């Protein structure tokens, strides 16, 4: 088996079925399998998923264990030498798997590679960035604002240094690389697990590729901006987790000062989220070891 395509579903059967249909319509030119990991959806959603995807391997978790954990379960069941992690709220509009796999074949040192993400209207959606620091995160957001109205292929001209990580929404990983890294860090429930994986891969000497000429549609690219307070809290928890693992003490301190100022600013508009973020600041979120 060449490629195992892995999707995580949580009460999103409609999106998942549409995504799988788009994969079938633009199938790669070699043997592949589709693995769907249901992350503790309702009983009705689970039954609907099994009924509508009889030709997929469907793994059902009793509870939602997070994005990274569910993908690790899918990877453990995979038979392919390459793992294509794909968000269930994506639509494949062309055969992107074949060129990604060919890029892997051409570069034995490449551990991960991804396509561009685009919005429904075809414009660029942030698909990569620099490893987080307070300055670099601001640069990544500024970069996204600058290029979000361009065709994704035109963004490929940016310097390699801007592409230190690629998004886990569409990420092809060499299974040997994934196993050597121990998979996704499951202490991230959502957000930053892809950045963490890329960071650890680079530290081990793996190359990370990006094919700007090939893209997929990602429907959920604004989930943080439009998300509820729970999503915002989870984003900040994962952000702190990454900094506590990899960043220097001054960077970790400055992030906490910034988050305290953010929490204070929202005190009178969203007191619950403000208190939750402030509480996160005064906790350590993980070992500083990789």
CA 124, CA 129: separation in Å to the nearest integer? 13
> What is the length of the chain?
290
Element (H, E) at 35: strand 32-39
Judge whether 74 and 178 are in contact, CB under 8 Å: no
- pLDDT value for 141: 66
- Among 181, 205, 224, the domain-final residue is 224
Query: Quick one: 76 and 201 in the same domain?
Result: yes
Q: Which of 98-102, 148-152, 219-223 ranks highest by mean pLDDT?
A: 98-102
Cα Rg of the chain (Å, integer): 19
CA 42, CA 67: separation in Å to the nearest integer? 17
Tell me the average pLDDT across 196-212.
95
Query: Quick one: 216 and 235 in the same domain?
Result: no
- As a dihedral over the C-alpha atoms of residue 43, residue 66, residue 28, residue 197, rounded to 10 degrees, the angle is -170
Q: Return the minimum-mean-pLDDT range out of 149-153, 173-177, 179-183.
A: 149-153
The answer to the question of residue 63 being in a domain is: yes
Query: Quick one: 214 and 252 in the same domain?
Result: no
Q: Return the minimum-mean-pLDDT range out of 43-52, 138-147, 261-270.
A: 138-147
Query: Quick one: 50 and 136 in the same domain?
Result: yes
- pLDDT value for 290: 46
Any alpha helices (H) in 152-228, and if so which ranges?
Answer: 175-181, 193-203, 223-226
Give me the chain's average pLDDT, please.
88
The answer to the question of residue 288 being in a domain is: no
What are the tens digits of pLDDT across the range 27-67? Answer: 998 999 999 999 999 999 999 999 999 999 999 999 999 99
- pLDDT exceeds 80 at position 77: yes
Q: How many domains does the chain have?
A: 2
Query: Quick one: 125 and 238 in the same domain?
Result: no
Query: Quick one: 130 and 70 in the same domain?
Result: yes
DSSP-assigned beta bridge partners for residue 146 = none
Identify the CA nearest to 191 among candidates 146, 258, 239: 239
Those residues whose C-beta lies under 8 Å from the C-beta of residue 51, and which sit 6 or more positions away, are none
Boundaries of domain holding 261: 227-281
**pTM of the complete model:** 0.90
DSSP-assigned beta bridge partners for residue 11 = none
Tell me the average pLDDT across 140-163.
61
């Amino acid at each position: 088996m060449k490629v195992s395509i892995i999707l995580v579903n949580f009460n999103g059967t409609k999106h998942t079925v549409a995504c799988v249909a788009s994969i079938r319509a633009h199938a790669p030119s070699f043997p592949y399998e589709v693995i769907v990991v249901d992350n503790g959806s309702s009983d009705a959603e689970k039954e609907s998923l099994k009924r509508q995807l009889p030709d997929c391997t469907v793994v059902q978790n009793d509870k939602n264990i997070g994005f990274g954990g569910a993908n690790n379960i899918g990877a453990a069941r995979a038979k392919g030498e390459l793992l294509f992690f794909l968000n269930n709220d994506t639509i494949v509009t062309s055969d992107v798997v074949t060129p990604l796999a060919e890029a892997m074949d051409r570069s034995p040192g490449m551990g991960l590679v991804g396509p561009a993400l685009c919005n429904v209207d075809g414009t660029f959606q942030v698909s990569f960035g620099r490893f987080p620091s307070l300055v670099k995160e601001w640069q990544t957001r500024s970069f996204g604002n600058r290029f979000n109205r361009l065709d994704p292929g035109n963004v490929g001209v940016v310097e390699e240094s801007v592409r230190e990580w690629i998004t886990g929404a569409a990420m092809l990983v060499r299974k040997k690389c994934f196993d050597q890294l121990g998979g996704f860090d499951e202490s991230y429930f959502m957000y930053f697990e892809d950045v963490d994986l890329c960071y650890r891969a680079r530290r081990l000497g793996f190359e990370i590729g990006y094919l700007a000429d090939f893209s997929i549609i990602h429907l959920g690219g604004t989930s943080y901006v439009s998300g509820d307070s729970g999503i915002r809290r989870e984003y900040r928890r994962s952000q702190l987790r990454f900094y506590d693992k990899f960043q220097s003490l001054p960077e970790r301190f400055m992030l906490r000062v910034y988050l305290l100022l953010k929490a204070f600013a929202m005190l009178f508009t969203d007191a619950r989220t403000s208190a939750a973020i402030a509480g996160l600041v005064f906790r350590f979120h993980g070992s500083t070891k990789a």
